[in-house]
Amino acid sequence: QAEGIPVINLSPIIHHTVQDSSAIESLVKEIASACKEWGFFQVTNHGVPLNLRLRVEETSKVFFAQSLEEKRKLTIDDNGLPGYHDTEHTKNVRDWKEVFDFLSKDPTLIPLNSDEHDDRVTQWTNPSPQYPPHFK
């Protein structure tokens, strides 16, 4: 059993009325530390309503209960576009998990490269599986 899993309180960026740069700086450092030391963390005071979280959880269960063949119809391509994958590796060892990556803003404009002087972008959109129909 893991003890001491980092719990990150997002209220400094969710519920702020006046931008408090020191609170936000502290939050960024806390997130960086959790990522470096643990690789994950629990988030509190994020502002996502409970009914939405429950709907996402139930719809996700329906999607991931499908056959591998159905899920792989939405496999991420070599460009890293959002979608399904089950072959992620950490330190050259296959992770035993399935993932469906998605964009929080759909569509999202992505720079074509890391050159700050190149303003070309490409547009990424979230894939929408046929089943479950409300998994969007």
Residue 130 placed within a domain:
no
Asked whether residue 104 is domain-assigned, the answer is: yes
117-122 contact pairs (CB < 8 A, 24+): none
38 and 72 inside one domain: no
Any domain includes 131: no
For the chain, the straight-line distance linking the first and the last C-alpha, in angstroms and rounded, comes to 34
Does residue 56 fall inside a structural domain? Answer: no
- What would the pLDDT profile of 24-80 be if each residue is shown by its tens digit? 889 999 999 999 999 889 999 999 999 999 999 999 999 999 999 999 888 876 666
pTM of the model: 0.67
* 99 sits in which H/E element: strand 99-101
The distance between the two most distant Cα atoms of the chain, rounded to a whole number of Å, is: 50
How many domains are contained in the chain?
A: 2
64 token code pair: 């991931």
Task: State which residues form the domain around 89.
Answer: 67-124
Report helix, strand or coil for 63.
helix
